[in-house]
């Protein structure tokens, strides 16, 4: 791999486009004759698909065709680059490269509800023409380098774009071999996407052996794994509004401070306790012990009775549920203390209850007070791993006999799940919120096996006396503690009152519980990474530090980071190595991708692989010149597009030349422009647009052109049940919800990218199944009907149809044949034929 | 110069899609759809086609095919594996004997569980491999591994490799057909038979026999009344003419010719697919042999073997008809995703409840398929592989179930080039791990053997992706000589 230097021009003059000077030189070398410029109508269509991914309005095409000024072409390029359609087009390219998908893949292919934010980031970044070095850095470490900015929070969605083994993470702990394999695969995916996308370097084969050809050793590979060793894939919560973010930060700090204060005051009170007090406490505790209903779950206090609270049991695995029994708590003279007036019982396989089954719904009217009796809900044989009680109308905290207060709470002593006749213990209890006043109140008490049925409350005398004695020895501390506790409640209320945070699915330090706990619980420290002999997690070798591959950019291969550095430093170091001006791969890689987008093939044909095995560049000097120009010119992709699109090489016609073909059949030396099959998205978008149904709404959650069945287990994504007339699904294809396990039949038939693969270039196949998809897919057929409505019943249906769909006048043959066909079989049938014309799927 | 172009030829041939490949293909006058990349087999093939029977959820070797007297002897005793075992769900209860009695079958005297005894009729055609090992006990990874040779997404299914290597025998039907369980997909869904980086023409095509639209997009939606048969026929002619004009004005681009041809093939598939799947004219004795119930039979809610036999048998019969018509690779799935009530082989709770009906249904269909192929003279060049994700533990989970066992499980093969009535590779006395732990059999070996019987050297069928010459068997695989006849 040579250093990156700006090569001298191989000839030509200053007035010529630099691209042309290099291309012409090669053509001279091989005796090739360049083609002349394509006609304006062809150029308009070519530019439109290149930069918009769909046609431009017919009036604009006509205006361009009529505009004979020399600058008309240049202006059209600028106009198309300035359109938001450009960002949508280019985001889709990048989504191929990073294998972006919106379900996890693997088993139980669950949806990722918040992955779309990364897609929106990409559209924004391309439309804003973000500097390329910043674009790289944000995706690897935006959260570290630009904290508090939306792009900083969201861009690391790059790291989480690929597939993820839910079962290998959620059902298997990291301590087990299967859990280790899942996490190894996860990091491998992050390493692979980073090095292939930014550097066009394949390193993943070095996980089992040193790279046979390229200078990548196993140690280098695992040092790259170490860069991502603290990360998992999860939803990050963040506030868009900086004022709210600041507020939340302040309030969360107050919670921490108050916790510390309360702890200190409790210690003071403890220290002041006399023998008598301790004796009395022991007595009360021993009396309490027989009253097991006193150990339960207690929510935080809500500000209104209609706030929704929940608490849930994790059974550890999917379990068939016969029965759920709910027990009230024993407090203040009640045996159903905190028992909600209205509630639901739900079962789910996933902790966030994104999909669930409701087995008991008592939310329509107030539930009779259960007293000491267990409330039994029939499980209806539903299976799930998590059981949740959702309180929708809270109880007023008070002593028996007192008037209701405005402290709205939800409390229970026990939640029992019966399966196959016996009680199943929860392995963990989680709740929306909880007061953890151990041992009396705490989430964990909900599954401690202690229920309080039928036990009488202890006499109040001892308690009152205890309170008096305590006040005598530590009255001030008690008062202050109570004060702090009150403040804590207020602060928590304020946090709840803040606008809901945004969520984005990203690569991040995960704070979890159970098997999928991430590294949040250990302060975000990275996992120890060892070289794995033959890539086997059961054969760990020496420990490696974070680093990268030698010989590509200056600097140490093992990053020089201070001891106990935060994990983000590793990602920053790698990002800086990638965008180092002297990195031999980064700049060549991106200009090659841009080139490929305009010619259908790159200067290096293997855009993801610049290694020894990959293809050699057709025009090495041009590649280097463009890379230097791009790097030194500020990393503007739009400038690079302008440079290429304004070249004569780009504007050539696609016409044949048998003599040239003899010499260079694959047009490696660009003696003509290439006729290109449109991508799946471009075809679908054009169909919607031609039919007059395109919904240009930008951004936000993806549209779903399927119906999910059986969401509680493994979702079945049923595309054939979608309504082709749902306007939400008429948005541009870049906003389509991307399911990994079950591809969308039309798009798959048209060679769309497989989100499980890093796709550097779309496949281009021609099959009978593709023909059937274009003919018979329900969306295609429905849009043919809408297209016909748009044309109307005038006498020039052929002229209207061809002009709208192809941006030109019909030929005599088309007038005759399509006209006859539409008379015999209707305009809609004719429109379907137009959608199936070869010209509709190709751009010249 | 010309050397440089020639050296690129291999790459372009491999790349399949893409501009360069197309242009070159046109130069060489190749038909992209029909021909395999190999052109000619590496050596004389023993088999021409493959049927893969895939039991989703992980079928128990211990209760069906791999008899362990030690478990009968020690049934109910505390299990002791002599080492620490990481079970998937900690299903390490007492040793559990097979749910069914085993008895000897065929001339080879192979012991089969009573529930799969219908296979006894053809057991002399079958070769068993009892020392298969997997990599993990996670369904998705294990399914990928057995289906594609890799434990993660992004790799072509075995059928895709076969299609890529050998091409098509009948372009009116897909080369690689998948018959999924009608109740839902197994782990990973269609990714198990995707073409991944191979050209899309090689991906498995789902066929749903007995449904109004057995192949997605085969016909226009019913609601589109304007697409009458006459309009359809005229549209075909019209497209041929207009696309023909477009292509002829642009000589030298074979893609445009291929596109016209693809519409012809589509029209032919509309005729060929229903004919291939029409089992109504199969004689009664054949339907009976495959365990088919009369059409329109209503089934009880509970899982039962007659219903399972009907489902599986219809798939097996459809597979035979597809193979007769030139389809090269058929993958039949038994069992769907993990849902309740359970309709797959992942019997954590109750082996008898799930494995009973599923295995009996499977055995009836599979036995019929082998017999039927034999009586038609097709068995000698049709290779059958029965496989699953991994095995199940010799210990009890709960009171009636078995946990995952990725440490050992069973495959069996039959037909094209396979030596019948043999066992090659044993599990240990408990069926916990291979008897010879140093020399297990892996999916790579099974795949290498299948490719070998198809005339393909598994190390020489490759596709370059991101700088790696990918192959079905990764860097592994050895042909299992002991099961080749």
**Mean pLDDT to the nearest integer, A711-720:** 86
The whole-number pLDDT of residue B34 equals 64
- Rounded Cα gap, residues A570 and A153, in angstroms: 17
Q: Which residues of B202-234 are buried (b: 16+ CB within 10 A; e: fewer)?
A: bbbbbbbbeeeebbbbbbbbeebebbeeebbeb
User: Where does the pLDDT of residue A27 fall: very low under 50, low under 70, confident under 90, or very high at 90 and above?
Assistant: very high
> For chain A, how many structural domains are there in total?
5
Reported as a single tens digit per residue, the pLDDT across A380-429 is 778 889 999 999 999 988 877 667 777 899 999 889 888 877 778 777 89
CB B412 within 8 A of CB B383: no
- What distance in Å separates the CA atoms of residue A339 and residue A435, rounded to the nearest whole number? 15
Q: Which residues of A touch B183 (CB under 8 A)?
A: none
Span A117-122, average pLDDT: 98
Length of chain B as a residue count: 485
- Output the pLDDT for position B46: 96
Mutate to test the interface with B, among A666, A683, A841 (most CBs of B within 10 A): A666
Three-point CA angle A222, A224, A230, nearest 5°: 95
Query: Does A231 have pLDDT greater than 80?
Result: yes
pLDDT of residue A796: 92
Q: Is A50 among the domain residues? A: no
Q: Among B152, B225, B229, which would you mutate to test the A interface (most chain A Cβ atoms within 10 Å of its Cβ)?
A: B152
Position A288 scores a pLDDT of: 60
- The reply to whether A421 touches chain B by the CB within 8 Å rule is no
Query: Within the 260-299 window of chain B, which residues sit less than 8 Å (CB to CB) from chain A?
Result: 260-263, 265-266, 268-270
Handedness of CA B3, B7, B13, B17 (dihedral sign): negative
Residue B261: pLDDT over 50: yes
Q: Is residue A469 part of a domain?
A: no
A809 located within any domain: yes
Region A516-530 average pLDDT = 92
Q: Which of A168, A214, A832 is nearest residue B141 as measured by Cβ atoms?
A: A168
> Residue B162 above 60 pLDDT?
yes
The answer to whether residue A1 neighbours chain B at the CB level (below 8 Å) is no
Q: State which residues form the domain around A266.
A: 242-281+476-498
Mean pLDDT, residues B372-384: 97
C-alpha–C-alpha distance, residues A377 and A389, integer Å: 11
Q: Which residue of B has its CA nearest to A382?
A: B340
Does residue B32 carry a pLDDT above 50? no
Angle at A705 between CA A704 and CA A711, to 5 degrees: 60
Per-residue pLDDT for A782 more than 60? yes
- Residue A1 within any structural domain of the chain: no
On whether any CB of chain A is under 8 Å from the CB of B135, the answer is yes
- Shared-domain flag, residues A813 and A691: yes
Same structural domain, A637 and A571: no
Spatial CB neighbours of B230, under 8 Å, sequence gap ≥ 6: A824, A825
pLDDT, chain B, mean: 90
**Residues A256 and A340 placed together within one structural domain of the fold:** no
Mean pLDDT of A156-181: 93
User: Is the CB of residue B364 less than 8 Å from the CB of residue B290?
Assistant: yes
Phi, psi of A526 (to 5 degrees): -65, 155
Given A622, A657, A674, which residue is the final one in a domain? A674
Checking B470-476 for CB contacts under 8 A at 24+ apart, the result is B470/B155, B470/B197, B471/B161, B472/B148, B472/B149, B472/B156, B472/B158, B472/B161, B472/B447, B473/B149, B473/B444, B473/B447, B473/B448, B474/B149, B474/B150, B474/B444, B475/A208, B476/B442, B476/B444, B476/B445
Residue of A nearest to B404 (CA): A178
Determine the residue among B133, B234, B242 to mutate to test chain A binding: the one whose Cβ has the most chain A Cβ atoms within 10 Å. Answer: B242
Q: Is the pLDDT of residue B5 over 50?
A: no
Place of tokens 């490929």: A596
What would the mean pLDDT of A655-675 be, rounded to a whole number?
A: 92
CB–CB of B347/B353 below 8 Å? yes
Domain boundary among A644, A674, A704: A674
Angstrom CA distances, B203 to A100, A717, B151, B167, B342, stand at 21, 19, 18, 12, 29
Q: Does B152 touch chain A (CB under 8 A)?
A: yes
Q: Are residues A263 and A361 in the same domain?
A: no
pLDDT for A240 equals 86
Mutate to test the interface with B, among A767, A777, A831 (most CBs of B within 10 A): A767
Residue numbers of A between 171 and 200 with CB closer than 8 Å to B: 171-172, 176-178, 181-182, 185, 196
Mean pLDDT of A79-102: 98
B367: pLDDT strictly greater than 60: yes
pLDDT on residue B72: 97
CB pairs under 8 A between A and B: 306
Q: What is the mean pLDDT of residues B418-428?
A: 97
| CA-closest candidate to residue A152, choices A568, A701, A737, A634 | A568
pLDDT of residue A835: 98
The 10s digit of each residue's pLDDT in B180-227 is: 998 989 988 889 998 999 988 899 999 999 888 999 999 999 999 999
pLDDT value of residue B200: 83
CB contact under 8 A, A181 and B221: no
A217-229 per-position pLDDT tens digit: 999 999 999 999 9
The whole-number pLDDT of residue A459 equals 52
- Nearest Cα of chain A lies from the Cα of B172 at a distance, in angstroms, of 9
Which of A196-200, A477-481, A675-679, A716-720 shows the lowest per-residue confidence on average (mean pLDDT)?
A477-481
**In-domain check, residue A114:** no
A290 confidence band (pLDDT: 50, 70, 90): low
Residue B23: its pLDDT value, please? 36
Nearest-Cα distance to chain B for A806, in Å, is 13
Instruction: Please check whether residue A761 lies inside any domain of the structure.
Output: yes
Mean pLDDT for the stretch of residues B66-77: 97
Q: Are A537 and A184 in contact (CB under 8 A)?
A: yes
Chain A residues 369-398 within an 8 A CB cutoff of chain B: 381-383
Residues 6 or more apart whose Cβ sits within 8 Å of residue B331: B51, B52, B54, B157, B159, B176, B177, B178, B179, B193, B204
Contact B19 A167 (CB under 8 A): no
Find where tokens 């137009």 sit. Answer: A834
Q: Does one domain contain both A531 and A554?
A: yes
> Which of residues A578, A597, A627 is at a domain's end?
A578
Query: In a 3-state reduction of DSSP, which class is residue B421?
Result: coil
Q: What is the mean pLDDT of residues A230-243?
A: 93
A703 plus A785 within the same structural domain: yes
For residues A127-147, give the mean pLDDT: 97
Residue B178 confidence (pLDDT) above 80: yes
User: What's the whole-number average pLDDT of chain A?
Assistant: 91
**Residue A711 scores a pLDDT above 90:** no
* Domain assignment present for A357: yes
Q: Is B244 on the interface with A (CB under 8 A)?
A: no
Cβ contact A666–B20 (<8 Å): yes
Instruction: Please determine, for residue A289, whether its predicted confidence score (pLDDT) is greater than 60.
Output: no
Q: Does one domain contain both A250 and A165? A: no
A418 in Cβ contact with A370 (< 8 Å)? no
Tell me how far the alpha carbon of residue A755 is from its chain's centroid. Answer: 12
What is the average pLDDT across A727-746? 96
Query: Is there a single domain that holds both residue A246 and residue A230?
Result: no
Count CB-CB contacts under 10 A for residue A838: 23
pLDDT at position B318 over 60: yes
Least confident of A64-68, A94-98, A168-172, A294-298: A294-298
> Which among B407, B363, B408, B355 is positioned nearest to B130, based on CA atoms?
B408
The residue among A98, A515, A589, A766 with the most chain B CBs within 10 A of its CB, best to mutate, is: A766
Say whether both A208 and A274 belong to one domain.
Answer: no
To the nearest whole Å, the CA of B126 is away from the closest chain A CA by 31
Q: Does A777 touch chain B (CB under 8 A)?
A: yes
Distance from CA of B404 to the nearest CA of A (A): 12
| pLDDT at residue number A287 | 66
What's the N-to-C CA distance of chain B in angstroms?
49
Chain B residue closest in CA terms to A772: B217
Max Cα separation, chain A? 109
Checking if the pLDDT of B16 tops 70, the result is: no
CB contact under 8 A, A771 and B466: no
A374 and A248, same domain (yes or no)? no
Q: Residues A697, A681: one domain?
A: yes
A201 within 8 A of A552, measured Cβ to Cβ:
yes
Chain A (644-663) residues lying within 8 Å, Cβ to Cβ, of chain B: 654, 656, 658, 661, 663
In percent, the amount of chain A with pLDDT more than 70 equals 97
Q: Which among A14, A12, A19 has a CA at the least distance from the CA of A618?
A: A19
Using DSSP's 3-state secondary structure scheme, residue A638 falls into helix
- Window from A488-497, A810-819, B311-320, B415-424 with minimum mean pLDDT: A488-497
pLDDT at A493 > cutoff 90: no
How much is the pLDDT for B11? 36
CB contact under 8 A, A163 and B227: no
Residue B303 has a CB neighbour count (10 Å cut-off) of: 17
Looking at the DSSP assignment, which residues form a beta bridge with residue A429?
A313
Tell me the C-alpha distance between A329 and A455, whole Å: 11
Angle, in degrees to the nearest 10, between helices A116-128 and A132-145? 140
Residues A178 and A305 in one domain: no
User: Is residue A229 a part of any domain in this protein?
Assistant: yes
Looking at residue A439, its pLDDT comes to: 77
Contacts of A204 in chain B (CB under 8 A): 466
């Amino acid at each position: 791999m040579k250093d990156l230097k700006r090569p001298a021009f191989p000839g030509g003059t200053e007035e010529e486009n630099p691209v042309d000077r290099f291309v012409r030189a090669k053509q001279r070398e091989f005796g090739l004759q360049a083609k002349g410029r394509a006609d304006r109508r062809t150029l308009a269509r070519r530019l439109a698909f290149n930069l918009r991914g769909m046609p431009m309005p017919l009036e604009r095409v006509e205006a361009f065709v009529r505009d004979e000024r020399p600058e008309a072409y240049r202006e059209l390029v600028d106009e198309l680059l300035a359109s938001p359609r450009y960002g949508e087009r280019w985001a889709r390219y990048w989504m191929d490269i990073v294998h972006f998908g919106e379900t996890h893949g693997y088993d139980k292919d669950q949806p990722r509800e918040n992955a779309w934010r990364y897609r929106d980031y990409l559209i924004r970044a391309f439309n804003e023409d973000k500097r390329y070095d910043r674009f790289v850095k944000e995706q690897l470490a935006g959260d570290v380098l630009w904290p508090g900015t939306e792009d900083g929070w969201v861009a690391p969605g790059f790291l989480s774009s690929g597939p993820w083994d839910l079962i290998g993470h959620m059902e298997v702990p990291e301590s087990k071999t299967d859990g280790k394999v899942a996490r190894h695969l996860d990091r491998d995916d992050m390493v692979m996407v980073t090095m292939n996308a930014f550097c066009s370097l394949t390193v993943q084969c070095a996980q089992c052996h040193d790279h046979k050809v390229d200078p990548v050793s196993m140690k280098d590979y695992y040092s790259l794994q170490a860069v991502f060793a603290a990360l998992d894939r999860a939803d990050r919560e963040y506030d868009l509004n900086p004022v709210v973010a600041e507020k939340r930060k302040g309030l969360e700090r107050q919670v921490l401070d108050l916790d510390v204060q309360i702890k200190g005051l409790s210690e003071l009170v403890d220290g002041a306790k006399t023998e008598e007090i301790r004796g009395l406490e022991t007595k009360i505790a021993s009396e309490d012990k027989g009253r097991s209903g006193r150990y339960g779950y207690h929510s935080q206090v809500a500000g209104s009775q209609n706030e929704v609270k929940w608490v849930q049991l994790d059974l550890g695995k999917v379990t068939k549920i016969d029965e759920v029994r709910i027990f009230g708590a024993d407090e203040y003279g009640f045996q159903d203390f905190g028992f909600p007036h209205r509630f639901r019982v739900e079962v789910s396989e996933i902790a966030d209850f994104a999909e669930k089954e409701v087995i008991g719904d008592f939310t329509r009217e107030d539930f009779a007070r259960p007293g000491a009796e267990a409330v039994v809900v029939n499980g209806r044989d539903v299976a799930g791993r998590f059981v949740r009680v959702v309180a929708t109308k809270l109880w007023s905290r008070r002593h028996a006999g007192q008037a209701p207060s405005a402290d709205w709470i939800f409390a229970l002593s026990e939640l029992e799940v019966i399966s196959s006749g016996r009680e199943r213990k929860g392995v963990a209890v989680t709740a929306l919120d909880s007061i953890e006043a151990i041992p009396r109140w705490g989430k964990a008490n909900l599954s401690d096996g202690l229920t309080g049925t039928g036990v009488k409350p202890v006499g109040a005398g001892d308690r009152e006396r205890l309170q008096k004695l305590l006040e005598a020895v530590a009255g001030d501390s008690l008062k202050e503690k109570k004060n702090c506790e009150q403040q804590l409640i207020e602060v928590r209320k304020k946090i709840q009152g803040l606008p809901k945070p945004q969520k984005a699915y990203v690569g991040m330090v995960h704070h979890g519980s159970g098997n999928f706990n991430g590294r949040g619980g250990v302060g975000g420290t990275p996992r120890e990474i060892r070289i794995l002999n033959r890539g086997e997690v059961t054969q760990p070798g020496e420990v490696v530090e974070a680093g990268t591959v030698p010989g590509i950019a200056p600097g140490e291969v093992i990053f020089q980071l201070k001891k106990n550095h935060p994990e983000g430093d590793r990602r920053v170091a790698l990002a800086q190595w990638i965008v180092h001006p002297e990195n031999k791969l980064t700049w060549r890689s991106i200009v090659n991708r841009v080139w490929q987008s305009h010619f259908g093939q790159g200067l290096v044909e293997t855009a993801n692989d610049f290694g020894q095995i990959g293809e050699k560049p057709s025009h090495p000097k041009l590649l280097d010149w463009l890379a230097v120009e791009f790097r030194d010119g500020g990393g503007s992709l739009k400038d690079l597009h302008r440079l290429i699109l304004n070249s004569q090489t780009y504007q050539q016609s696609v016409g044949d030349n048998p003599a040239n073909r003899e010499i260079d059949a694959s047009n490696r030396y660009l003696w003509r422009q290439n006729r290109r099959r449109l991508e799946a998205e471009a075809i679908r978008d054009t169909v919607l647009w031609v039919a007059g149904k395109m919904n240009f709404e930008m951004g936000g959650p993806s549209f779903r052109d399927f119906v999910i069945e059986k969401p509680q287990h493994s979702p079945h994504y049923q595309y054939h049940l979608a309504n082709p007339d749902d306007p939400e699904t008429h948005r541009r294809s870049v906003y389509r919800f991307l399911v990994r396990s079950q591809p969308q039949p039309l798009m798959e038939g048209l060679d769309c990218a497989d989100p499980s693969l890093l796709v550097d270039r779309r496949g281009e196949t021609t099959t009978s199944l593709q023909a059937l998809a274009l003919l018979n897919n329900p969306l295609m057929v429905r849009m043919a009907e809408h297209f016909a409505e748009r044309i109307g019943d005038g006498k020039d249906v052929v002229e209207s149809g061809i002009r709208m769909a192809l941006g030109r006048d019909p030929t005599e043959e088309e007038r005759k044949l399509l006209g006859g066909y539409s008379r015999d079989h209707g305009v809609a049938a004719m429109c379907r034929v137009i959608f199936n014309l070869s010209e509709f799927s190709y751009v010249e | 110069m010309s050397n440089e172009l020639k050296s690129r030829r291999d790459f372009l041939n491999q790349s399949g899609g893409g501009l360069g490949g197309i242009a070159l293909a046109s130069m060489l006058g190749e038909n992209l759809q029909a021909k395999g990349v190999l052109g000619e087999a590496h050596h004389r093939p023993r088999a021409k086609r493959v049927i893969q029977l895939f039991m989703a959820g992980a079928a128990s070797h211990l209760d069906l095919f791999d008899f362990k007297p030690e478990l009968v002897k020690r049934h109910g005793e505390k299990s002791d594996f002599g080492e620490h075992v990481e079970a998937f769900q900690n299903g390490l209860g007492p040793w559990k004997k097979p749910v069914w009695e085993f008895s000897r079958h065929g001339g080879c005297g192979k012991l089969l569980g009573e529930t799969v005894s219908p296979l006894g009729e053809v057991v002399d055609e079958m070769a068993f491999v009892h020392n298969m090992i997997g990599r993990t006990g996670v369904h998705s990874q294990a399914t990928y591994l057995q289906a594609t040779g890799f434990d993660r997404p992004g790799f072509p299914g075995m059928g895709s490799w076969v299609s890529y290597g050998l091409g098509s025998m009948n372009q009116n039907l897909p080369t690689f057909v998948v018959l999924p369980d009608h109740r839902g997909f197994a782990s990973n869904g269609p990714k198990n038979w995707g073409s991944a980086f191979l050209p899309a023409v090689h991906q498995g095509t789902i066929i749903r026999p007995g449904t109004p639209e057995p192949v997605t997009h085969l016909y226009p939606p019913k609601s589109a009344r304007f697409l009458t048969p006459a309009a359809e026929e005229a549209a075909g002619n019209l497209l041929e003419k207009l696309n023909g004009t477009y292509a002829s004005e642009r000589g030298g681009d074979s893609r445009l010719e291929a596109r016209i041809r693809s519409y012809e093939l589509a029209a032919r598939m509309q005729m060929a697919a229903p004919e291939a799947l029409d089992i109504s004219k199969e004689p009664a004795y054949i339907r009976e042999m495959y365990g088919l119930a009369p059409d329109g039979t209503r089934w009880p809610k509970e899982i039962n073997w007659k219903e399972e036999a009907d489902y599986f048998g219809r798939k097996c019969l459809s597979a035979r008809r597809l193979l007769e018509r030139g389809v090269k690779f058929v993958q039949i799935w038994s069992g769907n995703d993990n849902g309740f009530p359970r309709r797959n082989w992942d019997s954590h709770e109750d082996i008898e409840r799930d494995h009973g009906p599923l295995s009996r249904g499977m055995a009836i269909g599979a036995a019929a398929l082998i017999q039927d192929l034999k009586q038609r003279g097709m068995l000698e060049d049709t290779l059958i592989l029965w496989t699953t994700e991994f095995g199940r533990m010799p210990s009890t989970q709960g009171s009636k179930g078995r946990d995952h066992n990725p440490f050992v499980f069973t495959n069996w093969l039959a037909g094209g080039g396979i030596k019948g009535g043999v066992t090659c590779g044993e599990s240990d006395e408990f069926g916990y791990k291979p008897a010879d732990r140093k020399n297990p059999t892996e999916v790579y070996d099974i795949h290498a053997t299948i490719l070998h019987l198809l005339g393909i050297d598994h190390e020489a069928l490759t596709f370059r992706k991101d700088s790696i010459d990918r192959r079905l068997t990764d860097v592994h695989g050895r042909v299992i000589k002991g099961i080749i006849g």
